[in-house]
Amino acid sequence: MIAIVDYGVGNLFSLESSFAKIGEKSIVSGDPKVISEADRIILPGVGAFGDAAKKLREKGLDETIVKLAAQGKPLLGICLGMQLLFDKSYEYGEHGGLGLIAGQVRPLAERIDGLKIPHIGWNTLKFTQKSALFEGLKDGDYVYFVHSYYAECGGENLVATTDYGFDVTAAVQNKNVCGVQFHPEKSGDTGLKILKNFASMRV
Amino acid sequence: MLAKRIIPCLDVKHGRVVKGTNFSSLKDVSDPVELAAFYSDSGADELVFYDIVASAENRSLFCDVLREVARNVFIPLTVGGGINTLDDFDTVLKCGADKVSVNSGAIKNPDLIGNAAKRYGNQCVVLSMDVKLCDEGYRVYSLGGRVKTDIDAIEWAKFGEESGAGELVINSIDTDGVKNGFDLPLLEKIVNAVNIPVIASGGAGSVEHFKELFKRVNVDAGLGASVFHYKDFTIGQLKRELKSSGVEVRI
């Protein structure tokens, strides 16, 4: 069973439908007990970092996620959910994250000039190291991005980048903790393949 | 590299897709769920659904259709038509929409853009504008292009960006449904005025029109309706031709 963490942000219907499409059981829940019983956890999210981090804390879900990650359960953060895995973010102020991956989240505007923000649309992946999450994918495969902030992270956790003025972090992994800046549930067959890999990956 | 997007638009009325010429004389075209899956398989990068009736009773039928599409199609879905309040945002987002486009609702209540962006994030809010060239310049029209306002289109686009819209859809009333090509002068002006993605709409009739659009104006996406519904050419064909002429597209 895959738990999709519900803390009041994001389009969870699409994630749930994606798992149904690939024949994987999933449950949308904001209850720490239900989430703890799952084998794998998806941390979704859209909107602003500060609000999302606050909502996670209010529901006690930050502790649950950190605890489950420490137990070695596969965890996948998507979009803002990926950014929340990091130490902190500079989106409208400075906000603490879950600290599961070393690094920080910063505005794209600091790094790019002449490109539109948000970075919206289908962009290509370039892999920097192998990961079971991307089994069957290759450099140049397109996935759907929508974000105005990016994660600055060390090479050891970086799995894939995408070119938007510079090599923007597209996927990260620290053992069982994975994150993707793009939306696999909105990336057609390529995205479904990634979710399928997540549902079966061993870490 | 970021790909230019091809986006079919489905105008939905009583659970069916319709598309008119110059906003009138609607013809029933096809079943939305079937059409959405067909488009996704043939390479559409996103889909836009317009609820052209947007009455209370029709909204629930529309949401049923949307939910069914979202269950089967895994590309971004934008919903528009009759979005006047944050509750309207909520309703369609819960049915599987990823983005919501506001048009007349934002003209009536400009705060809607900012309030929605604060609650759902900029990426969720698309400002859609129906624009016509008048004696005094480009003007925004409301209520499906029927009612002229005194709002300057360029100023409105800038206001949308400042208020937190993540994207703009620019629909030219002058070129809509005529299939004579996109309104390049208008699009050029808008693209130069803002720094958010711009989706061009109105006038697509041939592959050449899309080539001309992407080569001459720095828009991010081209939207088409009848040109795809009536299979003048498929999205796959269009993308292959764009690619061979040097336009970056996802194939």
- CATH code (residue B196): 3.20.20.70
What residue in B sits closest to A20 (Cα-Cα)? Answer: B71
| Residue B26 Cα, gap to closest chain A Cα (Å) | 31
Structural domains of chain B, count = 1
**Interface confidence (ipTM) of the complex:** 0.93
Check CB contact under 8 Å for B167 and A120. Answer: yes
The three-class DSSP label of residue A160 is strand
Read off the pLDDT of each residue in A156-175 and give the average, rounded to a whole number.
Answer: 97
Q: Give a three-class secondary structure readout of chain B.
A: CCCCEEEEEEEEECCEEEEEECCEEEEEEECHHHHHHHHHHCCCCCEEEEECCCCHHHHHHHHHHHHHHHHHCCCCEEEECCCCCHHHHHHHHHCCCCEEEECHHHHHCCHHHHHHHHHHCHHHEEEEEEEEEECCEEEEEECCCCEEEEEEHHHHHHHHHHHCCCEEEEEECCCCCCCCCCCHHHHHHHHHHCCCCEEEECCCCCHHHHHHHHHHCCCCEEEECHHHHCCCCCHHHHHHHHHHCCCCCCC
Query: For residue A195, is pLDDT > 90?
Result: yes
Mutate to test the interface with A, among B123, B161, B190, B194 (most CBs of A within 10 A): B123
Q: What is the pLDDT of residues B57-96, one digit of tens each?
A: 778 889 999 999 999 999 999 999 999 999 999 899 888 8
User: Among the listed ranges A27-36, A137-146, B30-39, B81-90, which one has the minimum average pLDDT value?
Assistant: B30-39
CA distance B199 to B5: 9
What pLDDT, on a 0 to 100 scale, did the predictor assign at position B28? 54
Residue B145 pairs in a beta bridge with: none
Residue of A9, A14, A189 to mutate for B, most B C-beta atoms under 10 A: A14
Using CA atoms, how far apart are residues B50 and B65, in angstroms rounded to an integer? 12
Record the pTM: 0.94
Q: For A121-130, A144-153, B35-44, B72-81, which range has the lowest pLDDT when averaged over its residues?
A: B35-44
Which residues of chain A make contact with B235, given a CB cutoff of 8 A? none
pLDDT of A27 higher than 70: yes
By residue range, what is the domain housing residue B133? 5-244
Within an 8 Å CB–CB cutoff, is residue B67 touching chain A? yes
Q: Which of B33-37, B191-195, B214-218 has the lowest mean pLDDT?
A: B33-37
Q: Is B122 on the interface with A (CB under 8 A)?
A: yes
Tokens 């190291």 belong to which residue? A129
Flag whether B249 is in a domain. no
Residues B15-70 have pLDDT tens digits of: 888 864 444 444 555 788 888 988 999 899 999 998 888 777 778 889 999 999 99
Kindly list the structural domains of chain A, giving each domain's residue range(s) and its CATH number in brackets, ordered by start: 2-200 (3.40.50.880)
Chain A contact present for B148, CB below 8 A:
no
To the nearest whole Å, the CA of A71 is away from the closest chain B CA by 32
The verdict on residue B251 lying in a domain is no
Q: Given this model, what pLDDT does residue B21 score?
A: 47
Average pLDDT, chain A: 95
Give the pLDDT score at B112. Answer: 98
The answer for B173, left when phi > 0, alpha when psi is -120 to 50, beta otherwise, is alpha
> Is there a contact between B74 and A14 if contact means CB atoms under 8 Å apart?
yes
Return the number of other C-beta atoms located less than 10 Å from residue A35's C-beta: 22
Residue B111 is a catalytic residue: no
